[in-house]
Amino acid sequence: MFSYIARRIGSMIPSLLLASIIVFSFIHLIPGDPAQIMLGDQATPEQVQGLREAMGLDRPLYVQYGRWLSGVVRGDFGTSIFFHQPVLHVILDRAETSVLIAVFSMMLIVLVGVPIGILSAVRYNSRLDQLFSGLSMFFASVPTFWLGLNLMLLFSVMLRWLPTSGFPSILESGEWSNLRYLVLPCITLAAPNSALIIRLTRSSMLDVAKADYVKTARAKGLSEGAVNIRHIFRNSLISVVSALGFTFVALMAGTVVTETVFSLPGIGRLVVESVLRRDYPTIQGIILIIAFLYMVINLLVDLSFALLDPRIRYS
């Protein structure tokens, strides 16, 4: 098992290197000049060229990449062109919001999605199942910006219970009450993802319920509850855990619409804004970290399979 984990971690290095080369090449292939964007529409060509030189953007691409990579190896991801701050600092600052959103949204998704999915499967084709199926279809298909703006209208503008937007850092202020800023974004994110987990849990359980060993368990006289939980639910968990793992990473990295609607300083918005600003060091830094995160979550998901299914062995 340990040699398997070590091998997987070792294989991450070439993958990350490849990802960094691809991202670096692609972002530099897109037309657009960070110096021009920073200086604005009316900057003179001389002014733009001067800033390009000062930022080292006039150097050959392989030189720029080499300098960036040697910095990364030493833990220096460079300096953000737009923010004039170390990229790692900018990313870590945004990570606070993204991690909290991902964790709280995941809790909501699991707490709502899995039990309702089980209930729908157990009460297959009942009115309750039809109701949950209808609701999950609705929340899975509703655009997040629409849901977010309507929640904001109801809970912030009309009832004035929750703030519309922004997120003051808890790490800086120590104010845990700032979590109230995340309530609406987490509900907005959890709603469609819970709906997907409901449907996935339900369909996985219904698939497993047809298996011979479930029939055998029932024939042995096990109670319906024990059959549902110990045999059906546990064996259907593999696909659910796998989906939850990737949902977590997606929540960390790709919640750009929700972050924009609620004006949250998260990673998703940072990625999009950095691309529009052609802030090369920030884009490269984020992509590398997200790629690393994907690999780690993937490994954890794979390892969890062994816990869920004793037949799976890693060597």
Partner 1 sequence: MNRMRTILLWSLCFLVIAAGAAFAAEKGGVLRVAVIDEPPTLDQHVVTSDLTTMIAQHIFEGLYTFDSKYSPVPLLVKSEEMKDDGKTAVLTLREGVKFHNGKELDAEDVLASMERWGKFGARGPVLFSNLEKVEATGKYEVTLTFKAPFAPWKNLLAFMNGGPVIYPKDVASGAEKTPITPEQYIGTGPYKFAERNPGRYIKLVRNEEYTARTEAADGYAGKREALFDEIRFIPVPDVGTRVNGVKAGDYDYAEQILGDLFDSLKEDPSVVTTVNQGANQGMMFFNSREGVLKVNSKLRQALQAAVNMEPVLQSAIGPAELWKASGSFMPESTLWYSKAGLDRFSANNPELAKKLAKEAGYNGEKITLMASTSYKFHYDSTLVIVKQLQAAGFNIDHQIYDWATLISKRGDPAQWDIFFTHHGFVPDPILYTFMSESYPGWWITETKRALAAEFAGTLDAAKRKAVWDKIQALVYEEVPVMKTGDHFTYDIYSPKVQGLSASSLIWPKFWGVSFGK
**Residue 225 in contact with partner 1, rule: CB under 8 A:** no
CA distance linking residue 258 with residue 288, whole number of Å: 23
CA distance linking residue 81 with residue 85, whole number of Å: 8
> Considering the complex, what minimum distance in angstroms separates the CB of residue 162 from partner 1?
9
Angle value at C-alpha 238, between 232 and 241, nearest 5 degrees: 120
94/231 with CB nearer partner 1: 94
**Residue 269 in contact with partner 1, rule: CB under 8 A:** yes
Please identify which residue in 13, 30, 73, 219 interacts with partner 1, judged by CB under 8 A.
Answer: 30
**Residue 270 in contact with partner 1, rule: CB under 8 A:** yes
**For residue 294, what are the contacts with CB-CB under 8 A and spacing of at least 6?**
249
Please identify which residue in 65, 83, 305, 314 interacts with partner 1, judged by CB under 8 A.
Answer: 83
The stretch among 27-35, 103-111, 208-216, 286-294 that binds partner 1 (CB under 8 A) is 27-35
**Residue 87 in contact with partner 1, rule: CB under 8 A:** no
Binding mask 127-146 toward partner 1 (x if CB under 8 A, else -) reads ------------------x-
Residue 193 near residue 245 (C-beta atoms within 8 A): no
Structure tokens at 131: 């109701």
**Residue 179 in contact with partner 1, rule: CB under 8 A:** no
98/193 with CB nearer partner 1: 98
CA distance linking residue 294 with residue 276, whole number of Å: 24
DSSP 8-state secondary structure symbol assigned to residue 182:
G
> Considering the complex, what minimum distance in angstroms separates the CB of residue 296 from partner 1?
25
Q: Which residue has the tokens 């929640």?
A: 151
CA distance linking residue 24 with residue 286, whole number of Å: 12
**Residue 260 in contact with partner 1, rule: CB under 8 A:** yes
CA distance linking residue 191 with residue 147, whole number of Å: 9
Q: Which residues bind partner 1 (CB under 8 A)?
A: 30-33, 36-47, 50-51, 53-55, 82-85, 90, 93-94, 145, 149, 152-153, 156-157, 160, 163-169, 260-263, 265, 269-270, 276-278
